[in-house]
Structure 1
Amino acid sequence: MAGGGSGRVPTGHAAETFISEHTFREGHRAVEGGSASKKRKREGKGDPSVMSGAGAYRGPWAKYEEERPDAASDEEFGSDVEVEIVYEEDEIEDNPDRAPEKLAGTDYRDTEAEGERSEFVGSRQYDYQGRTYMHVPTDLDIKLSGDYEPKNFIPKKLTHTYRYHTKAITQVRFIPDSGHLLLSASADSNMALWDCYNQRELLRTYSGHNKSVVDIDFNPSGTQFVSASYDRQMKLWDTETGKCLNRFTSGKTPHVVRFNPGTPHEFLAGMSDKKILQYDTRSGEMVQEYDHHLGAINTITFCDENRRFITTSDDRSVRAWEYGIPVPIKFIAEPHMFSMVRSSPHPSGKYVAMQSSDNQITVYSSTDKFRQNRKKSYRGHDVSGYAPDVAISPDGQFITSGSGSGEVFVWDWKSCKVWHKIQASDAPVLAVQWHPRESSKLITGDNNGILKYWD
């Protein structure tokens, strides 16, 4: 090779010179490990049936053999000598003292080790006939069982205040049909059961989660309810005894849980990892998975006589499903849509009201077409940064929502006009539900943990 002249290179000054091909090859061999007679060999590939230890399979990852002393010839070692390799895993297995595992800052404790507790705190657990609070009272002015034709009026005055929780009320539920009991869930990780009649006292507390309880739902008979928490656990409780009957978890955070009214031993859970999971309360197993959304699930609403359900997500879409079939039958996603954070079915079974993050309530049909009703939009309240509940009166005449300003808004379902506003709190009102039997009873829960009963 020949060259002439000199020049600057990025790493300094280089001067060209002359070197013969033979000299170059000799120098290259010396750098690469000596002459051809001392060329390094790879270790044997090993036996594919051996996973670790001597003779383990190494395949194309076999290392080069270590350089041997000059005194040892190839004849002395043999051409196919096997080299024993000691792996670090073997030494670790022999060491009985393992370092304690440390939790990362985002890890959760195992709540199964926490234990669930429930305490009856009412004045009297049994009546003169030995019946518990689960018995529907019959000595009241209103009939709480049997057929009922609802007729609702707007509530105007505060009749009672319930105090127990220390943090925000996240959800409230009247016991199905009769409504004589009220269940509340809170960010203080506890749940409470209240009497809606008689002394209107706190009856029973339920604790067992170690983070905020985000949602609760009764089974159709009210004998059990399921709770979902940010500790990534869902728990099934006996309403009467307070016993935790089962635990469910997928390792992700549940955002919403709903029992199927037509299949009372199954419930759906909307998760933070965009999946909807279907659980059987009898076996404790997951029996179906719906995985088409692109963001965390926010709402699940049953429709069409519980044969179908509608879901919304942080991906700003609405999807409709056949119960038990993990393929959507309808997908709605338009540029103007925002995330829907809460929902409520209309008593007629034809519509679902959705609390949209752009300070309005939108309405979608829950029949075969599953499309938005552009004529129905309820505005005036502020929901930015919060997820206030939305509730429709049992007769379908009024639609109600909490707000970030502490007001409860009541709109007329047909005209979409604000009929009334209740200043329910000086903190955001997150939970609101109509009593299933009373004509004008409404419960609200605010960010301070206070429940208020309106009539």
Structure 2
Amino acid sequence: MSSLVAYEDSDSEDESLDQTEEGASAAVQSRSCKQNQEVSVCDSSEVPQSPHSFTPDPDGSVVEYHGNDTKSRRASQHPHSPPQRDFERKYCNDETTKEKHFRDPAFPLSLCATQGKISPLQTRSHMPQSFSDGLNPMKRHHTAVPSGVRPYIPKRQRLTTSVETVDLKYPAEQFSGNETRASQILSEVSARVKPYLTHKSGAAGIPRRLLMSLGGHQGPVNTVKWCTVPHLSHLLLSASMDKTFKVWDGAESGRCLRVYTCHSGAVRDACWTPCGRHLLTGSFDNMSVITDVETGQQVVKLDNQFKVMCVVPHPSNPEVFLCGGYSSVVKAWDSRSSKVVKVYKAGIQQTLDILFLRGGVDFIASSDCVSRDSADRTLIAWDYQSTAKVSNQIYHERYTCPSLALHPLEESFVAQTNGNYMAVFSSQQPYRMNKRRQYEGHKVEGYAVQCEFSLDGTILASGSSTGSAHFYDYHSTRTLHTLHAHSQPCLCVSQHPVLPATAATCDWAGEIKVWH
């Protein structure tokens, strides 16, 4: 016989090279005696004891793949590579998977076959030469035996291996399975919300008891917002400094329905679009992103070239939204063309919040510009179309305003101030401040504490740096109830648009609570 049977050795090749050559010569002699018998030569230390056994990682971890469900089970966790199960299951990309192939020599080269298991040794024997060399680049120098006859591999195994290899190279196909499950997010109506959809809602109430506590964020939760579409109002959106934003079932089960990880920086602000099918977020990674709620895919991703503090959609043109942050300008983006359509320039360092007034003709921008004796340019009124300043002499006290809220019925808006009170302003020119009406009792102390009106405008809610949630009567400014919600600063209180006496709160420790 003119050719030899040769295989690439496993990681123990350096110690058993001589034994491999002796085994190869013995196999040639055996083939000459038994020509109808299939020949397979390898070192006894290389033969796996079971279809699932292969050389583990140096840290003792083992990764198994079954079918199209990309899940990893680790025997022991390496301290420098913690498991990211949610990220790998939903948002793993091609680059992450390819890097794992070349970095981990023990990573299986093909997934387990659905009809028959293929050992890693058999899979390696018919892999492309360049890919096999990339796994162990030093082996080519040791094995100088010329390539010979390859063992016969059944057609069923060859076809199965090729199919599984395609699934490994294109993990995005597995995302479609998640889309099927996630499509129920917008198709289901909560049984708790459904009775309130047929009749007109009454007066807003005060939540007093804890309904559920939602945990899962690993950093401060900056905001929580209910979906404003009535039949989807059981969905609760949260944005956190842990670079994620989530959608929860805040009415019944309290489950986290979806995790979105499209930002590489802290998510500072997030809101629902008017249709309820998309989420608008702004992050410290300079990006503003519109994300599809069902599929988790990014519809639009825009680079603002500054850290985003606030994002607000236009009330009458939802395809246009404003972005403000660590910059002296506010940008208006058109999501259809992905271009900046308007720029509003002011002599400030950063924008804290943006509030569109009724109709979207004007908007108010809150900045950090404070002089020695007054807060000149703290609140600036802009004309949306002409980008001209309407007024910058609205608020004259030495406090910044981290949050703004528009009254749903009357021509007024409220500004949360670092003076530990909320001030009321007229939403029509010249935007005068009502000095006789202030809402006091909570603390701000430098935190981005938000305020919000109830749907009927009778109750004004605010968080507090003390961890409490405060509810005020809008007309009399008296305190209706103080809810001792959290032990850390309470940053946001969001009142439910349909369910009476229901609100969600979030705090600096990453906890979310629903009250009723």
- One-letter amino acid of the structure 1 residue matched with residue 289 of structure 2: K
- One-letter amino acid of the structure 2 residue matched with residue 405 of structure 1: T
Q: Indicate if the aligned counterparts of 1:389 and 1:402 stay in contact, CA closer than 8 A.
A: yes
Residue 289 (structure 1) aligned to one of 343, 346, 349 = 343
3-state SS of 2:353 partner: strand
Alpha carbons of structure 1 residues 207 and 264: separation in structure 2 relative to 1, 3 Å: same
Q: Indicate if the aligned counterparts of 1:400 and 1:411 stay in contact, CA closer than 8 A.
A: yes
Partner of 2:30: none
Partner of 1:76: none
Q: Indicate if the aligned counterparts of 1:138 and 1:144 stay in contact, CA closer than 8 A.
A: no
Are 1:400 and 2:400 an aligned pair?
A: no
Are 1:162 and 2:218 an aligned pair?
A: no
- One-letter amino acid of the structure 2 residue matched with residue 172 of structure 1: V
* Aligned-residue offset at 1:261: 2.0
Q: Indicate if the aligned counterparts of 1:293 and 1:313 stay in contact, CA closer than 8 A.
A: no
Are 1:235 and 2:289 an aligned pair?
A: yes
Q: Distance in 1 between matches of 2:414 and 2:177?
A: 37
- One-letter amino acid of the structure 2 residue matched with residue 268 of structure 1: L
TM-score (norm: length of structure 1) = 0.70
Q: Distance in 1 between matches of 2:203 and 2:177?
A: 34
Partner of 2:368: 314
* Aligned-residue offset at 1:196: 2.4
Q: Distance in 2 between matches of 1:170 and 1:141?
A: 26
What are the superposed Cα offsets for residues 187-208 of structure 1, whole Å, 9 maximum, x if unpaired? Answer: 1011111012342211000002
Q: Distance in 2 between matches of 1:114 and 1:308?
A: 45
Q: Indicate if the aligned counterparts of 1:119 and 1:206 stay in contact, CA closer than 8 A.
A: no
Question: Unaligned stretches of 5+ in structure 1?
Answer: 1-111
Alpha carbons of structure 1 residues 247 and 318: separation in structure 2 relative to 1, 3 Å: same
Q: Distance in 1 between matches of 2:457 and 2:409?
A: 7
Kindly report which structure 2 residues correspond to 1:21-420, keeping only aligned pairs within 5 A, or say none.
125=181, 132-135=184-187, 137=189, 139-140=191-192, 142-143=194-195, 145=197, 148-178=200-230, 179-315=233-369, 316=375, 317-332=378-393, 335-420=396-481
* Aligned-residue offset at 1:113: 12
Q: Distance in 2 between matches of 1:383 and 1:419?
A: 19
* Aligned-residue offset at 1:385: 2.2
Partner of 1:42: none
3-state SS of 2:466 partner: coil
TM-score (norm: length of structure 2) = 0.62
3-state SS of 2:332 partner: strand
Q: Distance in 2 between matches of 1:144 and 1:186?
A: 30
* Aligned-residue offset at 1:119: 8.0
* Aligned-residue offset at 1:249: 1.4
What are the superposed Cα offsets for residues 280-314 of structure 1, whole Å, 9 maximum, x if unpaired? Answer: 11111111001124231111111122222111111
> Which structure shows the bigger proportion of residues in helix conformation?
2
* Aligned-residue offset at 1:138: 6.7
Q: Distance in 1 between matches of 2:511 and 2:395?
A: 38
Alpha carbons of structure 1 residues 121 and 164: separation in structure 2 relative to 1, 3 Å: farther
- One-letter amino acid of the structure 1 residue matched with residue 229 of structure 2: D
**Largest Rg, 1 or 2:** 1
* Aligned-residue offset at 1:324: 2.4
3-state SS of 1:264 partner: coil
Question: Unaligned stretches of 5+ in structure 2?
Answer: 1-92, 97-171, 370-374
Q: Indicate if the aligned counterparts of 2:363 and 2:383 stay in contact, CA closer than 8 A.
A: yes
Q: Distance in 1 between matches of 2:198 and 2:276?
A: 16
Are 1:439 and 2:439 an aligned pair?
A: no
Q: Distance in 1 between matches of 2:196 and 2:424?
A: 30
Q: Indicate if the aligned counterparts of 1:150 and 1:394 stay in contact, CA closer than 8 A.
A: no
Alpha carbons of structure 1 residues 400 and 327: separation in structure 2 relative to 1, 3 Å: same
Q: Indicate if the aligned counterparts of 1:120 and 1:205 stay in contact, CA closer than 8 A.
A: no
Q: Indicate if the aligned counterparts of 1:266 and 1:279 stay in contact, CA closer than 8 A.
A: yes
Alpha carbons of structure 1 residues 119 and 445: separation in structure 2 relative to 1, 3 Å: farther
CA RMSD between the two structures: 2.6
Q: Distance in 1 between matches of 2:364 and 2:352?
A: 11
- One-letter amino acid of the structure 2 residue matched with residue 209 of structure 1: H
Q: Distance in 2 between matches of 1:401 and 1:139?
A: 29
Q: Distance in 1 between matches of 2:327 and 2:479?
A: 37
Q: How many residues align?
A: 338
3-state SS of 1:125 partner: helix
Partner of 1:421: 482
Q: Percent identity?
A: 26
Partner of 2:513: 452
Partner of 1:31: none
Q: Indicate if the aligned counterparts of 1:278 and 1:287 stay in contact, CA closer than 8 A.
A: yes
3-state SS of 1:321 partner: strand
Q: Indicate if the aligned counterparts of 2:193 and 2:499 stay in contact, CA closer than 8 A.
A: no
What are the superposed Cα offsets for residues 332-363 of structure 1, whole Å, 9 maximum, x if unpaired? Answer: 25542411101111111411111101111111
Q: Indicate if the aligned counterparts of 1:271 and 1:277 stay in contact, CA closer than 8 A.
A: no
Partner of 1:14: none
Alpha carbons of structure 1 residues 177 and 375: separation in structure 2 relative to 1, 3 Å: farther
Q: Indicate if the aligned counterparts of 2:469 and 2:483 stay in contact, CA closer than 8 A.
A: yes
Q: Structure 1: which 4+ aligned runs deviate by more than 6 Å?
A: 112-115, 117-122
Q: Distance in 2 between matches of 1:343 and 1:146?
A: 32
Q: Distance in 1 between matches of 2:480 and 2:197?
A: 30
3-state SS of 1:263 partner: coil
Q: Distance in 2 between matches of 1:114 and 1:325?
A: 45
Q: Distance in 1 between matches of 2:476 and 2:515?
A: 24
Q: Indicate if the aligned counterparts of 2:380 and 2:390 stay in contact, CA closer than 8 A.
A: yes
Q: Indicate if the aligned counterparts of 2:190 and 2:251 stay in contact, CA closer than 8 A.
A: no
* Aligned-residue offset at 1:136: 5.4
Q: Indicate if the aligned counterparts of 2:379 and 2:395 stay in contact, CA closer than 8 A.
A: no
Alpha carbons of structure 1 residues 301 and 235: separation in structure 2 relative to 1, 3 Å: same
